[in-house]
Structure 1
């Protein structure tokens, strides 16, 4: 991709996504996972319809967590039966919307979640197939951001399920067909990946006799990749045989899909595809310190990092074009927002730049725009340019608009299942 040409034609700030990079990431990850495994793409990483559509055509199912992500998956061409709705706080409105859109698979986090889905499925005359989200009883060391294995809002503790399985077996229109285990995220170390998959598979092995036949076990993912800094996606050449060894030990019928094994990824599949182009608006000195002011900030990149929902943002912004021999100076790089929190780089060595120059932040195809504080201060969203190599396929931008009434006027804010839950 010629980032300079894209910036000249479409302006900055601009997100640029390369579908060729997404295909390469999918090829690499697929080669490192057991052959029969299903792979979910987590739309929270990047719900752009061309990104989702490319991964769907490569065979990925969609893991979504909201009505908006359901819409994004359907708009990208994903069949509703290939969508798995997850999240610990699925409201009655969200579940009802999913059912009306044809979604028939849910990951359930608790008995209340199960009964809510069951009630709404019965009301709509719809059969659904569900996974139980499980919080393993033991933590795994070395995870970038721990999701389970500790007190957690995600899933039901394995010991709870084991002690009171009747609450988790489903019935009526709800069939519990498997387990959903997601231990952590942004894991770059192969040993840590194997440790979490072994813990997840051991938990499934333990709960299978309690719950009955498991049709699918989703072992999660957490495959790490660089974020907002230079670097390449890690490759784990021995990951596949090591996972296969774990599965042969813990879930010996997996090669014949008894149970079928699934994994999920967002960051690894989409991260390397994206760059954020930005312009230098100002360079100034304050009390002996140099500040570079950009036309983009945490409203467009890394807002969740500031909320400690992503690793701390330490991007290496690279000048697009030759910068050999360019001197560096201690610099703080900030965005245009009226808050000191809008800081990309704080007092670090940085190439000397000048107003009007173009910078690029690499590896932001995942957890970029939609993981940011887009509504803060009302700046327009960056243009999003989708390429396939050097060919521009699509140019668009998000718009935040106020409309009267709820998102879906057919659904009230009240929970119709609440009477059956207490």
Structure 2
């Protein structure tokens, strides 16, 4: 997190025009991230954008465009499906994921044309099949695999431990005969997601190599021809701190080598290959602007109170933990203080006893790299405060201005 009074003039003008807290998303930066990631991967890969990172329709629409290298949509709710459709995707462009899919949401998804689902259990596959049969269609199911071991020991682990996500790899041989008999589904391949926000390129490459090797071994041992192999993500970007996206200059060559070894026909589409990304594609596109509401001292400790707290910048990209903040001083006089939000809870802390520039009420603070896991990953409903305004820009042009609203309505 970078808080300083030397806010870019364009941001200051937007804050004066639309007020704070204010998210600003730069579509040029979104497009640049998409190009970088597409260039880092073999051209045969399909790239899915995980809408949970930022479901703003303009951001999603930007990632859909781009000709042959535009993204498809990875969704995990009918709400995200609605956003994807509004952004121009079709149901056939979507991969529906999540361990707790209900019959009602599956009914809606299949009705709207979704035909590929990532599944996490026998019950999940059965439920997908039952709904598909009701619609008179056959849908593709990818089996999400929770590997018994992993390569990278750093980053946020998403596999190798007991989990609600995926089939434990060592149990697939026992359950696959039953899965093959489920009406309404075709077992089309595997879906892996072993880690998030890889520490470095070497960690990511090693994980992908392990994933490809494991997928090939499972397909051989289970006699399961793979039509689709989704190797997951893990592409890194900073969150609320200064910095740039991860760089992957060796990734294309390393993936090519391991795929040549284990899937000789991959260039001909056997299997179709996919990976996914959220934060890398949108994280660096966003800036959160907030205003210092008050500065106070309590028992010798200073508190800088912003009009944006965990209801605005919730830290969910850290999987529930409050993110440590790092504030750039820009040569200004420094002091130690706690940076907090406006909520009536002692948990509304963005940084405890951190080094800050000396700030006063009315100062504008810019939090960089806030394009992923922003409003929809925050406690928007807590205390009934209005959601932050979101402005989308392309260069100097304001594309849209909007704000999420929570409304109570009578249940059906």
Q: Does 1:57 align with 2:68?
A: no
Q: Match for 1:90 among 66, 88, 101?
A: 101
Q: 2: CA distance between counterparts of 1:362 and 1:121?
A: 44
3-state SS in 1 of match to 2:141: strand
Q: 2: CA distance between counterparts of 1:371 and 1:68?
A: 14
Write out aligned runs for 1:244-283 (5 A).
244-283=256-295
Count of residue pairs brought into register by the alignment: 400
Is the Cα contact below 8 Å between 1:188 and 1:225 reproduced in 2? Answer: no
Q: Match for 1:19 among 24, 27, 34?
A: 27
| CA displacement at 1:250 relative to structure 2 | 2.3
1:68 paired residue number: 79
Is the Cα contact below 8 Å between 1:277 and 1:361 reproduced in 2? Answer: yes
Tell me: CA distance 1:97–1:68, structure 2 relative to 1, closer, same or farther (3 Å).
same
Tell me, which stretches of 5 or more residues in structure 2 are unaligned? 1-7
Deviations 1:358-407 (A, max 9, x none): 1111101111111111111110000000001221000000000011125x
Q: Match for 2:218 among 182, 207, 214?
A: 207
Q: Match for 1:163 among 168, 174, 179?
A: 174
Q: Match for 2:53 among 45, 48, 54?
A: 45
Q: Does 1:79 align with 2:90?
A: yes
Is the Cα contact below 8 Å between 2:201 and 2:247 reproduced in 1? Answer: no
Deviations 1:327-376 (A, max 9, x none): 00011000001111111111111100110111111101111111111111
Tell me which moved more, 216-225 or 190-199. Answer: 190-199
| CA displacement at 1:46 relative to structure 2 | 0.3
Is the Cα contact below 8 Å between 2:315 and 2:321 reproduced in 1? Answer: no
**Consecutive aligned runs of 4 or more in structure 1 exceeding 3 Å deviation:** none
Deviations 1:84-136 (A, max 9, x none): 11001111111111112221111111111111111111111122112111111
Is the Cα contact below 8 Å between 1:297 and 1:342 reproduced in 2? Answer: yes
3-state SS in 1 of match to 2:15: helix
| CA displacement at 1:139 relative to structure 2 | 2.5
Q: Match for 1:222 among 234, 248, 269?
A: 234
> RMSD in angstroms over aligned alpha carbons?
1.5
Is the Cα contact below 8 Å between 1:266 and 1:366 reproduced in 2? Answer: yes
Q: 1: CA distance between counterparts of 2:199 and 2:286?
A: 19
| CA displacement at 1:183 relative to structure 2 | 0.2
Q: Match for 1:126 among 133, 137, 141?
A: 137
| CA displacement at 1:303 relative to structure 2 | 4.6
Q: 2: CA distance between counterparts of 1:303 and 1:190?
A: 24
| CA displacement at 1:311 relative to structure 2 | 5.7
Is the Cα contact below 8 Å between 2:47 and 2:72 reproduced in 1? Answer: yes
Q: Does 1:236 align with 2:248?
A: yes
3-state SS in 1 of match to 2:127: helix
3-state SS in 2 of match to 1:139: coil
TM (norm. structure 2) is: 0.94
Deviations 1:23-79 (A, max 9, x none): 111111111111110000000000000111110112101000011111111111111
Tell me, which stretches of 5 or more residues in structure 1 are unaligned? 407-422
Is the Cα contact below 8 Å between 1:222 and 1:265 reproduced in 2? Answer: yes
Q: 1: CA distance between counterparts of 2:200 and 2:178?
A: 37
| CA displacement at 1:188 relative to structure 2 | 2.9
Q: 1: CA distance between counterparts of 2:116 and 2:172?
A: 20
| CA displacement at 1:262 relative to structure 2 | 0.5
3-state SS in 1 of match to 2:53: coil
TM (norm. structure 1) is: 0.92
1:419 paired residue number: none
Is the Cα contact below 8 Å between 1:227 and 1:315 reproduced in 2? Answer: no
